[in-house]
Every structure is written in C-alpha cells, then in structure tokens.
Structure 1
C-alpha cells in the first residue's frame, strides 16, 4: 500500500502554550482533544479531531503574568508610532496565513469556506484598524486643561498594565482580535485565555506573534478550562485589569468579585456582543489611565 492509495494516517498537531516569547508545554503536561463544530454536533468523520491543545494550569497562568509584567516596561515605553508599526506587521503576517486561519475558523465555528474567509478578512482588517489608532489615541483621550494660574496643565492617556483577556467563546478569531488588539495598541501587555472549544485560531495567532516584531511576553496565550484559568488571573495582585468577554453568568460575577481584591478595571460583556459590528473606541479606552502634569509657564 502507498500513501496515494489512502492508507496514510495524518499526523495530529499538538500545540503548546505561548509564554514569555517561548512555547512551553503545560506545567501539568495535560492536553485535550480539540473537536470541530461538526463533530461536536454529533457528525462523524476523519477531520473531527484536528489537533490537541494544551490544558494550562494555575501555575501556567502565574508564569504568564510574570512574563507580561516583565515585558510591560519596554512595550509601554515604546513610542506610539513604533507600537503601531509592530502591530501592523502582525496584520501582514496574518494576511500571509489567511487560508490557514480561514480553515481553522470554518472548523471551529461550522462555517462554509467563503463565510470563514470573510470573517478572517474582517479580523485582519480590524487588527489594521486598531494598529492605526496607536498614535492617535492621545488626541481623543488627552487634553490641555485651562487653569487659573501660570501653568500648563496637560492630561495624557497611559496604559493600565497587565490585562487578563478572556477570549470570546463563540467567535474564535474576529472576537479574539476585537478584545486583544485594543489592549496592545494602548501599551498594555496581555495574558489571553483562548476559547475552550475553539482554541486553534488563538494558538496559531501565538505562532504569528512569535515570528513578528512583538517582544516576548507582551502577549501570552493559554488554552484550557476558562474558569480554572480565569479565577487565579482575576485574583492575581499583579494583574491590573480583566476583560470578561469569554465569561458569562455566574462565572462572570465570581470573577468580578475576585477582581475587586486589588481594584482591577473590569470590562464585562453580556454574551451577546456582535463582533462583526463596527468596534468604536470603547475597548480602546477601557484600559488606559489619565496622567495629568502641571508645568510652570515662562521658566
């Protein structure tokens, strides 16, 4: 028998986590089977089990926070123009792997090829859109304030710090880009918890980030059980903010309570977001602080 006669078995890919610019296995050594939307619905077929994904542990989450904190100084200290160029390079690389991402989106979300390509294109376009805001955020979030005295009084946006991002569960790539890109463009670093059922676009995005100009640790990608990973991140004293796009109901309420331990900023969705709608500047400004500086005039 030869491969041409259809007897060859495919080699399943086993993905790894992305922490600090490297690809470690889960600290626990656990993995889980990623299934397609068709197999999850009960349809049988050879492509119903496309890959294995790492099942990250609490220790992996803590390691990711350490890496994100270490990278924060360099990323937040880069010029806005430089951050924009770095993020635009990511969009270029996404474009080069467009067919791969479309195939992963189609399998994860049960879409036809054309619809998956359209969503992939929308995700790439959205990444470009956010990258373009890098040197413009200060124009809409900053101001020169009138004061009664011989001083300049200027307010400027500053990044919040390390942001835990729970990726949307049912929009594997466009939803992920919609929550991750605005965190990065304003100078924050991120720990991403990928969709539990559709992690492959996030894990493939990690491969893109590793070969782009994004410094190691700026984005860290975990996959596994959302609740298991989100709880230690929400309670972590070195995490400054959390986006709960991928958490709903009782889990979201529990995470909000845990986040109150160090007064984290929290963005909570309602589980019904239309990720294909125009994004606006809401998430772009969600994780920035305002710094006000007084400077004497005439000296």
Structure 2
C-alpha cells in the first residue's frame, strides 16, 4: 500500500498570461454532480476555485486592453494558426477535460468525451474562419461616381464574456473562440457552479501561442464580477449569455453608459451548427472611399 499523499490541483485565475490567486484571497467550493445536487449541497467536493473581486476584474480589463493592439494588428491568417495551435493543445489534454466535464456536468465518461470532442472541433471550426469572415462581413459597395467604396470588418475591442452556466466546456469554447478569432480580446467570467474546465483552458492558452492578455479568465460569483465589467469605461462589448434575465437587464443598463455593444442572452443549443452570428456580433464596419482612374492615389476613410 502506498503512503504518498495525493497532490491536489490548485486552480488559479488566468490574467495577462499569468496565474494569480484572487487579490482578495477568497475561494469557494466547487462540487460534483448535477446543478440541482450542487445547489442542495449534495455534490462531492472537487476543488476550491478563486473567488474573484472587482479588483481582479479591473486587472483583467487592463491586461486585455494592453494585448488588443498586437492581437488585432496580427494578420487574420496568423490568428487562425494560433487558434489551431490551441486546438492541438486541447487534443493533447483530452483526458483531463473529459474528467473535468464529467465531474462538472454529472455526465458519464463517454458522454463527457463526446462533449470534449465537439468542443475541440468547434475551436478548429472558428480557427478556420479567421481569414474568411471579412469576405462575409465586408465587400465592395456600388456608388455613383468614379470611386471604389470598400467596407471591411474591424474588431470592437475589449469584450466581456459571461460564459454559459450549464455548458462548462462546449458552451465556453463557443463563446470565447469567435470573440478572439475576429481580433477582439476577452475578459471571461466562467460558469459560477462549473468553473474548472474554464480555469484549465487558461493553462492551455498559456502553453499555446496566444499572447498574454488576449483571453483573461475569472471565476467566482457571476453577478459580483459582471457588474464592474458592464460599467467599465474601457470595455467595448459584453456577451450576456451566462446571465439570468434579471441580471442581464441590470448589466445592459450599466453597459449603455459608454455605448457598449451588447449581445443579449437567448436559448442556445450548443450542439447545433453555430453559424456566423457570433463572429459578427463584435465587429465594426470601416468604409473607405478611394478615387479611381486619373483622380489621384489618395483616399479617405469614414
């Protein structure tokens, strides 16, 4: 009989490419089982997750803003390569995510494996869209006069993403990947009851080619973390997927103060074809006029 102690994993936040504990020093218990069992306190203990504070949220926004210039300025092809590298790393840690998803969502190992495989496939799917979305969201516009008039998509900026509460991995991937595929940077609030797959995703991102700060992952009480992010003047958009109806209304009001783009929560089937609506949710359109023929070589942008 072995007398060695089990080495339990310490889960940490992922902010600016580093793994800090919450500045408050707080943690909360994460348990197994279905959401009903966890709510009743009947789930088995899995880990202590960091209980993020408002200061952690502000730090994450600073990191995301710092990373935005480099990430948005990278070529779309390069972003696709980086996202594909993340999928490679996810595939290499498949067994870990199967275990974590099974524990988080109360699934059998075969069902959890199917969820993880779908999540990796979803990440690859979005990686393939990085250098194609401009063809869908942009184009040449017909105008009267000797001009080219071209519209091209541009990333919105720093986007807060409230991850789905019940889909701890497939839903998580489905809300993060399209945001960063189009050149935005993200501050992600993980599922309150099921945060461990999200915190482990941070470890994958750190060991891939994703620059620090492009994705920042916080765990804790969704309402507590989301409130300062919705009101933050340096956040340009917010995805309210993980908010309930009452919280979403409060956050949408707060977000109006600096005219954030807001994606409202709606019923989602995470196994369905995702389409392109999430890719275009946090894009702006830049239109450029350029003279043709002998009018000159200078153009102007509006």
Contact 1:12-1:52 within 8 A present in 2 as well: no
CA distance in 1, matches of 2:262, 2:22: 27
Partner residue of 1:30 out of 26, 32, 36 = 26
Partner residue of 2:284 out of 282, 289, 293 = 289
Q: Which residue of 2 aligns with 1:279?
A: 274
Q: Which residue of 1 aligns with 2:175?
A: 179
Structure 1 counterpart SS, 2:280? coil
Which deviations, in whole Å up to 9, do the C-alpha atoms of 1:217-245 show, x marking residues without a partner? 00000000000000000000000000011
TM-score by length of 2: 0.94
Question: Structure 1 residue 52: deviation in Å?
Answer: 1.4
5 Å-filtered alignment, 1:1-299, equals 2-3=1-2, 9-37=5-33, 40=38, 48-270=44-266, 272-298=267-293, 299=296
Deviates more, 1:33-42 or 1:227-236: 33-42
CA distance in 1, matches of 2:21, 2:4: 28
Question: Structure 1 residue 43: deviation in Å?
Answer: 8.8
Question: Structure 1 residue 34: deviation in Å?
Answer: 1.1
CA distance in 2, matches of 1:143, 1:89: 29
CA distance in 2, matches of 1:33, 1:12: 14
Question: Structure 1 residue 20: deviation in Å?
Answer: 0.5
Gaps of 5+ in 1: none
Structure 2 counterpart SS, 1:32? strand
CA distance in 2, matches of 1:33, 1:255: 26
**Matched residue pairs, number?**
292
Which deviations, in whole Å up to 9, do the C-alpha atoms of 1:10-54 show, x marking residues without a partner? 333221111110111101011111111166276978xx2121111
Contact 1:12-1:50 within 8 A present in 2 as well: no
Label 1:42 to 1:257 Cα distance change in 2 as closer, same or farther (>3 A). Answer: closer
Label 1:158 to 1:236 Cα distance change in 2 as closer, same or farther (>3 A). Answer: same
Which deviations, in whole Å up to 9, do the C-alpha atoms of 1:74-108 show, x marking residues without a partner? 00000000000000000000000011101100000
Question: Structure 1 residue 9: deviation in Å?
Answer: 4.8
Label 1:29 to 1:111 Cα distance change in 2 as closer, same or farther (>3 A). Answer: same
CA distance in 1, matches of 2:188, 2:213: 11
Structure 2 counterpart SS, 1:283? helix
TM-score by length of 1: 0.95
Label 1:17 to 1:43 Cα distance change in 2 as closer, same or farther (>3 A). Answer: closer
RMSD across aligned positions (CA): 1.4
After TM superposition, where is structure 1 displaced by more than 6 Å over at least 4 residues in a row? 41-45
Structure 2 counterpart SS, 1:284? helix
Which deviations, in whole Å up to 9, do the C-alpha atoms of 1:156-192 show, x marking residues without a partner? 0000000000000000000000100000100000000
CA distance in 2, matches of 1:163, 1:254: 17
Deviates more, 1:28-37 or 1:159-168: 28-37
CA distance in 1, matches of 2:25, 2:258: 31
Contact 1:90-1:212 within 8 A present in 2 as well: yes
